[in-house]
Amino acid sequence: MRKLIRNKIPYIAEQKGNRKGMTLEKFGQNDAELILLFKQKIIEEANEINETNNDIDLVYEIADLWQVMNELTCYLGIDDKNLTNVIKAKAYTHGTFISDVKTYADIKNESGVEDKKVTEVYTLNINERERDN
């Protein structure tokens, strides 16, 4: 099985005497195989978030997922401003997952402190939705 790993992992493993199976590969811009590896890594990191049982590990796992998504968007040439505009447009047309949340670009209040006010979170029971369709 091939999977995307951080670029320093082979060197760390080599220092510990265990670099078996690790290879360095080069990919071109918009290489379909690398994009697939990124997608698989996103699923791996999302699963790790799902399996996390404490807040400290949750922050680290969210950071890992965020980094993978950020590197994929950079690789694809999607800039932060474009991505933020899509997030804002979707929030406007479809709403947000937490009722009072602002997009990441707007999350700080006037004093520069993050606003953590949350009032409502909407969920959907998938079985009920399937039954309604």
Q: How far apart are CA 62 and CA 45, in angstroms?
A: 8
Are residues 130 and 91 part of one domain? yes
Q: Report the alpha-carbon distance of residue 50 to residue 18 in Å, rounded.
A: 29
**Quick check: is 87 in a domain?**
yes
Considering the domain architecture, whether residues 90 and 52 belong to the same structural domain is answered as no
Q: Does residue 83 lie within any of the structural domains? A: yes
Complete DSSP assignment for 2-30: -----TTHHHHHHHTT--TT-------TT
Contact 69, 42 (CB under 8 A): yes
Task: Give a yes or no: residue 108 inside a domain.
Answer: yes
pTM of the model: 0.71
The answer to whether position 44 is within a domain reads yes
**pLDDT the model gives residue 38:** 93
How confident is the model over 39-62, as pLDDT tens digits?
A: 999 999 999 999 999 999 999 999
Q: What is the mean pLDDT of the chain?
A: 78
Domains contained in the chain, number? 2
| The residue type at 58 | L
| Residue that is written with structure tokens 């091939």 in the block | 2
Q: What is the pLDDT of residue 100?
A: 60
- 69, part of any domain: yes
Domain that residue 131 falls in? 79-133
Task: Give the pLDDT score at 124.
Answer: 56
Higher pLDDT, 112 or 77: 77
pLDDT digits (tens, 9 = 90+) for 62-101: 999 999 999 999 989 999 899 988 988 888 888 887 766 5
In a domain, 18, yes or no: no
Of 11-20, 73-82, 121-130, the range with the lowest mean pLDDT is: 121-130
Does residue 120 carry a pLDDT above 60? Answer: no
Assess if residue 17 is contained within a domain.
Answer: no
DSSP per-residue letters across 52-105: --SHHHHHHHHHHHHHHHHHHHHHHT--HHHHHHHHHHHHHHH--SBTTPPPGG
